[in-house]
Copies of this chain bind each other. A is one copy, B any other.
């Protein structure tokens, strides 16, 4: 097995790293400096931070003779690992013109060369020992690929003239269906979570049983057209539809539509990475907060699914039929292909669940600094399942647990309805 797995990890590494770089090719270096809110990081920071991750957790520990690229980078590009030392304040990442893009790309090359050396020589016990960390690094970089897209979208949307980052794309043909269908599931004791994959995040396990009562899921996500009906029906002005915290947020921030929608001459327009356009009625609605997703579900006489309902359904046969982040793709959710069964469980929008982000029974974080990856975020956030048009295809699976605070809207986040039966 060994002689096969070694090249595979190097191939994987090279592919993922190249994808990151491909993603930013059309951006100007000035685009990559800007931070429009504390949640958003500049593109350049993502490019450096993903390299810092390899350097800190792999190269400095494991590659004999590795020379640190710059002694300042650990301070600048540590994201949140308290165990690794002091770090630059998150909300000041947009103040860093230096190191410039050229230096950051030099950092990437330096790390790539060293990683190539490390991965070429790795075998036997060290390989086995390091493989989980290497796969974590790949997953980590793929996560940041998605953040590069969602963050630069936020940045460019703050330009009053809404520049187009990527070329316009053809749109899927409009479907002509009348509405979503319900797909029913029996209740019972089922197993959830996963253990023993070549790679998984610690938060996806331990595998455990839980009891579900019968429920139904919509066969596809809620669309822009359906969501516009909610708006037109006064959804944003009806407190009884909203969670109390959501209603406070609607009023404090003046929400009247999803993020990136604005009205012009009486019609909705939507900022996308491919230019501004009317929201396509049959495409999934995106850039909703948890509160908006829950209010919509209430208005529709339904509810959000729990994360275990979603996982059970996904395990029962959903395929990744969506569009993922890859060369030549479009960074905007496409219309759902017609068909029967669950559609677009992956590759359209992340789907808010009603489940708070909490540890599975008997969960313990990994030891050491990488143990800060997931566990410490388990409060105040909700789980999203699936994967969006901005997610790397290889990165997602039925047990993947994404999570964001309930007010977050800058991700490609939408919803799929559920109900009790």
Contact = CB atoms under 8 A, between A and B. Distances in A.
Identical copies of this chain, number: 4
A207 to B, nearest CB: 12
A28 B97 contact: yes
A329 interface: no
A159 interface: yes
Interface string A339-363: 0000000000000001110110110
A117 B144 CA distance: 51
A161 to B, nearest CB: 5
Contacts of A242: 376
Interface residues of A, number: 63
Nearest to A356: B356
Contacts of A161: 72, 98
A243 B244 CA distance: 24
Contacts of A209: 211
A380 B406 contact: yes
Given A213-B208, A356-B358, A362-B213, A244 B377 contact: yes
Interface stretch (A30-38, A123-131, A170-178): A30-38
Given A160-B88, A291-B379, A406-B379, A211 B210 contact: yes
B80 A244 contact: yes
A76 interface: yes
A75 B159 CA distance: 11
Contacts of A359: 354
Interface in A213-257: 213, 239-240, 242-247
The winner among A29, A209, A246 for most chain B CB atoms within 10 A is A29
A18 interface: no
Nearest to A354: B358
A34 B211 contact: no
A56 B289 CA distance: 34
A275 to B, nearest CB: 13
A279 interface: no
A106 interface: no
B31 A97 contact: yes
A76 B162 CA distance: 13
A83 interface: yes
Contacts of A197: none
B158 A213 contact: no
A132 interface: no
A160 B97 contact: no
Contacts of A406: 379-380
A243 B377 CA distance: 6
B376 A244 contact: yes
A96 B211 contact: no
Contacts of A281: none
Contacts of A239: 82-83
Interface of A: 28-34, 36, 44, 72, 75-76, 80, 82-83, 88, 92, 94-98, 100-101, 155-156, 158-161, 163, 189, 208-211, 213, 239-240, 242-247, 290-291, 294, 354-356, 358-359, 361-362, 372, 376-380, 406, 420
20 contacts: A30-B32, A30-B44, A30-B98, A31-B97, A32-B97, A33-B34, A33-B97, A82-B247, A88-B160, A97-B155, A98-B163, A209-B211, A210-B211, A213-B361, A242-B376, A246-B379, A354-B359, A355-B358, A356-B356, A362-B420
Given A30-B44, A30-B101, A240-B372, 14 more contacts: A29-B29, A29-B30, A30-B30, A30-B97, A30-B100, A83-B240, A213-B361, A242-B376, A243-B378, A245-B380, A246-B379, A247-B376, A380-B380, A380-B406
